[in-house]
Amino acid sequence: MTESFRVMQIGFGSLGRHISSTILKRENLELVSVVDANPDLVGKSIKVLLQSEVASEISLTDDLKGALKNVPADVALVATSSSIKTVFPTIEACLESGLDVVSICEELSFPYQKSPSIAKNLDQIAKKYGKTVVGTGINPGYLMDLLPIVLTGPCQTVNTIHVTRHMNSSHRRPSFQKKIGTGMTKEEFRKNIDEGRITGHVGLVESIQMIDAALNLGLDEIEELPPEAIIAKKRVTNSFTTIGKGDVLGLKSVGVGRKNGMQIVTLDFQAYAEASPQYDEVIIDGIPKMHQRIEGGVQGDQGTIGMLLNLIPIVINEEPGLKTMKDLPVPRNTSRFWKEN
Ligand SMILES: NC(=O)c1ccc[n+]([C@@H]2O[C@H](COP(=O)([O-])OP(=O)(O)OC[C@H]3O[C@@H](n4cnc5c(N)ncnc54)[C@H](OP(=O)(O)O)[C@@H]3O)[C@@H](O)[C@H]2O)c1
């Protein structure tokens, strides 16, 4: 008999609500509880919050411990924060309650260098309870790390890796447009970035660290350059805001990995309103040379949800511990995978 995977979802923000509605449409997944800290949402019906036709009797709760105790689930999806320190207690509680965990927390995608003690702790807790935890997403988690790693498969030698994402951020969720400074003046952008009030893109360093570890590159320096504002040459209006001429459309963030002063890995992330053309591109200089370009780019929010949900059967069948995307079986669409009894 086939059975669906029971999913607890934690985080019902800009992306979280799309995660819920996608789960509700996916036959091999059953949404059993939704947890979020936002007091405006607590107690409200998911069906009403999503304005959805899909049948769901779930009401949103802020009581994680209660949901873990009272509603049996196989896996927890965590979409609350980019900071590993912030998501740690949530993930710890889920592992201790016997759930596998998949999170889109960017810092969890490769946490060993920035947060070694949290990484060690998570690995130990996961092993103690026989469960698996992994950080994934579209980026970090796929386009700028796992994909270039896999593309080196046929290469006899690899000299340099250059990855570019060029995306029209007007198609992304509001929280994304906000964190890349859309609509701010140049001065506000700089101040907000400097004071950490907006993060810009998070994860370039983790992506380079994953590539370095996967290919044994032996990089001696990994650096993220300060994000640069991309400025509007004319007034632009999108569904998020109106951006005046001279104000900020979005940003360019570059991460580099060097060895003996040579730039080996370059990740060039550009996200701004009305960027055109959109594409994701990997160029590997080696033997043979590899040049792969996804025309139109991968829609980041859809791709993130796809990565997250597709990992559920993979993580449930994985050996216990903290894993990264380079450690897991080949990612794939798993919408036709069912729970084994
Ligand atoms: N890896 C990737 O490729 C990828 C892709 C997309 C997004 N992300 C990341 O995923 C995260 C979620 O994105 P988003 O746009 O949905 O963010 P968001 O709109 O800020 O939503 C986060 C939600 O989580 C809630 N929350 C915060 N801490 C919580 C906790 N401890 N327990 C329960 N709920 C909590 C927040 O409530 P309050 O508002 O009350 O705080 C908010 O409703 C972000 O950190 C984003 O950067 C990663």
The reported pLDDT for the residue numbered 340 is: 82
The set of protein residues with a Cβ atom below 6 angstroms from ligand 1 is 10-16, 35-38, 79-82, 90, 104, 106, 137-141, 173, 175, 304
Structure tokens at 199: 């993060």
| pLDDT at 276 (0 to 100) | 96
Locate 327 and state its tokens: 């450690």
| Ligand 1 atom closest to 175 (CA) | 15
Choice from 33, 41, 80 to test ligand 1 binding pocket (greatest atom count within 8 A of CB): 80
Q: Name which residue sits closest to atom 13 of ligand 1, judged by CA.
A: 15
Cα 5 to ligand 1 centroid, rounded to whole Å = 23
Expressed in angstroms and rounded, the spacing between residue 37 Cα and the centre of ligand 1 is 10
Q: Which atom of ligand 1 is nearest to the CA of 41?
A: 43
Ligand 1 center from residue 226 Cα (angstroms): 23
Write down the mean pLDDT value for the chain.
96
Looking at 3.30.360, 3.30.2000, 1.10.10, 3.30.310, the CATH number of the domain 146-297 comes to 3.30.360
**Measured in angstroms, how far is the CA atom of residue 171 from the centroid of ligand 1?**
18
Interval between CA 105 and ligand 1 midpoint (Å): 8
Question: Ligand 1 centre from 80 Cα, in Å?
Answer: 3
pLDDT at 52: 77
The superfamily in CATH containing domain 5-137+302-323 is: NAD(P)-binding Rossmann-like Domain (3.40.50.720)
Give the start-to-end residue ranges of the domains of the chain.
5-137+302-323, 146-297
Ligand 1 centroid distance, CA of 173 (Å): 12
| Distances from the Cα of 118 to the Cα of 94, 114, 315, angstroms | 15, 9, 20
For strands 290-295 and 279-287, give the pairing: antiparallel
Q: What pLDDT is stored for residue 341 in this prediction?
A: 63
d(CA 194, CA 226): 9
Q: Give me ligand 1 centre to Cα 121, in Å.
A: 22
How far is residue 92 from each of residues 126, 127, 129, 132, measured CA to CA in Å? 8, 12, 10, 11
Ligand 1 atom nearest 35 alpha carbon: 33
Identify the residue whose tokens are 């007091």.
39
Question: Which residue is closest in CA terms to ligand 1's atom 8?
Answer: 104
User: Which residue ranges of the chain lie beneath pLDDT 50?
Assistant: none
Q: Which is the closest atom of ligand 1 to the Cα of 136?
A: 1
